Structure 1
């Protein structure tokens, strides 16, 4: 799970430098990882067919413009694929020159064989704070916005802030039923653990948080072991 990619040396917890991204993407390529698109994982869940050897799903949240200007060329260089979870309210801001979010023309310019799009709420409100009816309305608003602008997307959702009702069994069941009842096939949290295959918990898929303020050795350790053997 990535967010921003800087074209200079700036880094923070949400921002990975282009240089570090190149090192990480080269590692994935050299170690024989097979990059997946969201549609590949959807087919796996629906059909039960096995995934290819060493599958990895590379995701970017929020739809920052550097995903197109900086990340996309690096992705093509190393022959990988990635998925961007979009926030329509941020895309609207992206149409102003001073803003940092993707523009609609960027979305249409990227090769659909290399980049797919998923949902990340309409305006980045935490689903843990919304009612079930508000969540349903939010999903529908996301779809309507993308459909009207002819942006192809997968019925896959990344929870804003990774937040959903984790600890209350009844609320959690109602929440997940609302997602599946509204056609969401895959949904992603954070969690920082590896997902066992075949993938069975398709609405609480965990992702590794790739931070710009962490060393390359920690990136490798997360990728290979997940949270259970991380030193914190």
Structure 2
């Protein structure tokens, strides 16, 4: 059984000066041909059942899809939806959330329109992301932000969470399976592959193929592509495997690499990091900043809220691929420079994903999708606290907390020894920072370095961005002191969700309803790439 998927945008689609286009007449001809030749259109739920092997489809089935990334509501209202209704068809509409509006301005499709068409049974709404980036040019964290933000927005507006994703530009990134699973999707579609329809139990579940039904005025009824097929020829070939060709695709690898360097090499944007760490035997050398740099994970929206862009300062001290479900906060004791040097030292095996300096500067050392050695039970459950929330799985077995968390070091001395006026940094220099007086004298210390506003704001933006990307609840944003016995960082000066009792007092830093609001980024569709 072969299931062809058709990729439409709208009936006014025109790319490359008319070399790739669709017209109202061609679209109606294609829909009429499908109806007259007894093709059944399927829903998103049927597609997933077909992929799972639990649903048997009619031999002549077709998946009709539309990617909405432009403001052409009139075309949907006057042509596409009436045609689907007339033919008794249904389709999947993949929406860019930033292209959908509440008021229909500039001929945009509205959420009310989508809800109406969905209620009529003509469409299901699935995800095309937020603002149409090429995922191959983003870090894993930025990919995850776009996919998860769109997921939550569609669920909020439609009342039903999307389960299928269509990659912008049909560009499938490395480890699409890991990305889509983390973002809450059960399948994903890409673009055209010759002689490639969707298969039951398809090995490319997160890069499913679609056919392009486009043509040009000079070649119609032949479609674009080297085959020169007509729509009829393409569809008949799509449902029957050609003689001598296998119906199977190439499986997408899912095994976790066994070494740190190979884990980095699994992702194209981390290839420099993987090559560098392999060539040096995992030792951080003088050229690491130039040769091992990678795209930061912080979303473009979060970076727009920061006074300074996130700086990448890589280290080779990282572990395998992870899927974090917590954020663990530490303080450094020393300076940012000293901490970075320590995490790059060949004599230690410690690292962290981020360092947040007092002025709000953020350094990223390890990609979020790889483990950093910032907190551990050393393989012994009793080393960590009995109520550690990330030290056991659902069956009570030990899980190493560094394999489940993003680690953030915040530049801060911690407890101050002595009396006001005589405090010193660890290097002996007079302390000139902010002081928090803890009336409760936590861990028997009354005076602590306070966290300045610039640092707290950068930390808040960073943490909430991580939460949104990975779906981490606020009760999983925890201090090191919640994990390991004998650890007191980040101390009482960092009041995460409680009102601080001391001098100066302070309201909670984080609130359950204060995740970064989705942005209003423009959709990036250029004349040469519109819709793809």
Q: TM-score category by the smaller chain?
A: 0.7 to 0.9
Cα distance in 1 for residues equivalent to 2:43 and 2:55: 15
Distance, in Å, in 2 between the alignment partners of 1:196 and 1:84 is: 18
Residues 1:17 and 2:17 aligned together: no
Kept after mapping to 2: 8 A contact 1:12/1:211 = no
Deviation per CA, 1:197-216: give whole Å up to 9, x if none: 32412111100112152523
Query: In 1, are the aligned partners of 2:130 and 2:150 still within 8 Å (CA)?
Result: yes
Shift of 1:179: 1.3
Match of 1:162 in 2: 170
Distance 1:72 1:19 in 2: 15
202, 208, 218: which one pairs with 1:205? 208
Q: 2:231 aligns with which of 219, 222, 227?
A: 219
1:153 offset after TM fit, Å? Answer: 4.7
Greater length-normalized contact order (CA 8 Å, ≥ 6 residues apart): 1
**Aligned: 1:46 with 2:48:** no
- State the distance in 2 between where 1:152 and 1:212 align: 35
1:135 maps to 143
CA distance in 1, matches of 2:29, 2:161: 29
Once structures 1 and 2 are overlaid, which stretch shifts more, 21-30 or 36-45?
36-45
What are the residue-to-residue correspondences of 1:108-123 with 2, within 5 Å?
Answer: 108-112=115-119, 113-123=121-131
- Tell me the TM-score normalised to structure 2 length: 0.38
Residues 136 and 160 from structure 1, CA distance in 2 versus in 1: closer, same or farther, beyond 3 angstroms?
same
| Unaligned stretches of 5+ residues in structure 2 | 1-6, 223-229, 243-532
- Matched-pair contact (CA < 8 Å) for 2:46–2:55: no
**Between 184-193 and 78-87, the greater mean CA deviation after superposition:** 184-193
Instruction: Work out the CA distance in 2 between the residues paired with 1:135 and 1:58.
Output: 25
For the 8 Å contact 2:90–2:123, the answer to whether it is kept is yes
* Kept after mapping to 1: 8 A contact 2:155/2:162: no
Output the CA distance in 2 between the equivalents of 1:147 and 1:198: 27
Q: Secondary structure at the match of 1:28?
A: helix
User: Could you tell me how far apart the structure 2 residues matched to 1:54 and 1:186 are?
Assistant: 22
Which consecutive unaligned segments of at least 5 residues does structure 1 have?
166-171
- The reply on whether 1:185 has 2:197 as its aligned counterpart is no
The TM-score normalised by the length of structure 1 is 0.82
Q: Give the whole-Å Cα distance in 1 for the aligned partners of 2:158 and 2:38.
A: 34
* Partner residue, 2:95: 86
Aligned CA distance change for structure 1 residues 196 and 46 (closer, same or farther; 3 Å): closer
User: Is residue 149 from structure 1 mapped to residue 157 from structure 2 by the alignment?
Assistant: yes
Match for residue 169 of structure 1?
none
The answer (yes or no) to whether the contact 1:37–1:57 under 8 Å persists in 2 is yes
* Contact in 2 for aligned 1:116/1:153 (Cα 8 Å): no
Distance 2:207 2:98 in 1: 24
Structure ID, larger Rg: 2
Between the two proteins, the alignment pairs up a number of residues equal to 216
**Using the alignment, how far apart are the partners of 1:85 and 1:13 within structure 2?**
24
1:138-186 per-position Cα deviation (integer Å, ceiling 9, x unaligned): 1221122223323535310111000123xxxxxx2x3321212322111
Say which structure is richer in helix.
1
Asked whether the 8 Å contact 1:39–1:154 carries over to 2, the reply is: no
Would the aligned equivalents of 2:90 and 2:122 in 1 still touch at CA under 8 Å? yes
CA distance in 1, matches of 2:220, 2:161: 33
RMSD (Å) for aligned C-alpha atoms = 2.5
Please give the alpha-carbon distance, in whole angstroms, between the structure 1 residues aligned to 2:96 and 2:164.
13
Q: Which moved more, 1:22-31 or 1:213-222?
A: 213-222
Shift of 1:60: 0.5
Instruction: Pick closer, same or farther for the CA change 1:156–1:120 going to 2, 3 Å.
Output: same
Partner secondary structure for residue 60 of structure 1: strand
Choose 217-226 or 139-148, whichever is displaced more.
217-226
